[in-house]
Amino acid sequence: NEELLEFNNKFPEMLRCSRADLRGKSRSHFELDQQQSSLSLASSVLSVTKIKTVDFDTQFRCGDNEIIDVNATFWVIDVVGRQAQLMIARNVTERRKAELQLRESEEKFRTLAEAIPSLVTIQRDQRPLYVNPAMIVVSGYSQEELQKASFLDLLRGLERDEVERCL
């Protein structure tokens, strides 16, 4: 029986329901597709290998039927001689959305930087992390040479002095 015995106030808040709504319910009430979830797999692994802690991602259905992404850490613990399951669940929906947006933004930047005829370089500590194809064509250096060179090494005379003042 996987009935919820106790939970803190954040759990019903995360699931947008009341404590009373959760009392006596099992994971299957709010966890999507429990048969396919990594938690079900983790439970099987725990019983076979005696692993004490498992970290996994799953999805929960909230009281308002919204689906949220959850990262959970799951322990099998002993409570007064009986085996119990302790789970800490974190709503990572916004983090997942931000990660996706970042990946999409990086992809758009790379597509633009690779296609434009302007010189594009991303620097850290005056060393290139990225140079676009136009930089290679205009400078006459290979990508490997540009990756090893300081941006200032590519500049001459007054331009170099001006850039150094800005840094």
**In which band, very low, low, confident or very high, does the pLDDT at 155 lie, cut at 50, 70 and 90?**
confident
Predicted confidence (pLDDT) per residue in 109-127, tens digit: 999 999 999 989 888 887 8
Give 104: exposed, middle or buried? Use CB within 10 Å, 0-12, 13-18, 19+. exposed
Helix (H) and strand (E) counts for the chain? 7, 5
Residue type, 140: G
- What is the Cα 106 distance to its own chain's centre? 15
Per-residue pLDDT at 98 exceeds 70: yes
3-class DSSP state for residue 18? coil
Query: pTM (2 decimals)?
Result: 0.60
Predicted confidence (pLDDT) per residue in 28-52, tens digit: 788 886 544 544 444 444 444 455 7
Give 102: exposed, middle or buried? Use CB within 10 Å, 0-12, 13-18, 19+. exposed
Are the CB atoms for 62 and 70 separated by under 8 Å? no
> DSSP secondary structure string, 106-142?
HHHHHHHHHHSSS--EEEETTEEEEE-HHHHHHH---
